[in-house]
Structure 1
Amino acid sequence: MSRGGNRENEVRRMLDGPHPQVPTDLARRAAERGARLLRRRRLARRLALLVAFAAVVAFTVWAVRVQPWQVPPTKTTPLDGW
């Protein structure tokens, strides 16, 4: 027999054998874990949005104060008559 056939027979033996007992509170624990993960993801998403909003506000305040789009004043005076 090929290697794949041996694996198939082994899997069939495992499936035909006795099945392990499932804990009675497995569904409740899974639901609690899922709810906990969902709360963590929501909190992480809200924190990320809050940080992004704070960054936009900080950039806007900086841009209004510094006005980087304006040409900076010249440091030397122009000479007339040369």
Structure 2
Amino acid sequence: MSRSGEDEVRHMLDGPHPQVPADLAQRAAERGARLLHRRRLARRLMLLLAFAAVVAFTVWAVTAQPWQVPPAETTPPLDGW
């Protein structure tokens, strides 16, 4: 940083500071609590959705049994009888 840039920064920092609202910390804490609550709720809903998906897949797999070969629909032709 050049010397003139440092002087400009020092001048800006030495100037008057804006007034901070008296209830700023309280509002920030309330907003943080709301965000935390929403994140917890979203996480719980996602876990519930994942659990429901696992249960639905398990029920489907038990009833459909996709690992078994389906029975043949037709019999092979009998030649030579």
**Which range, TM-score by smaller chain?**
0.7 to 0.9
For residues 28-59 of structure 1, give each alpha carbon's deviation from its aligned partner in whole angstroms, at most 9, with x where no partner exists: 00000000000000000000001000100110
Whether 1:25 and 2:23 are equivalent positions in the alignment is yes
Counterpart of 1:47? 45
Counterpart of 1:69? 67
> What CA RMSD, in Å, does the superposition of the two structures yield over aligned residues?
1.5
Counterpart of 1:9? 7
- The residue identity in structure 1 corresponding to 2:31 is R
Alpha-carbon distance in structure 2 between the residues aligned to 1:34 and 1:79: 75
Alpha-carbon distance in structure 2 between the residues aligned to 1:58 and 1:11: 62
Between the two proteins, what is the percent identity of the paired residues? 76
TM-score where L is the length of structure 1:
0.85
Shift of 1:19: 0.8
Number of paired residues? 79
Shift of 1:14: 0.9
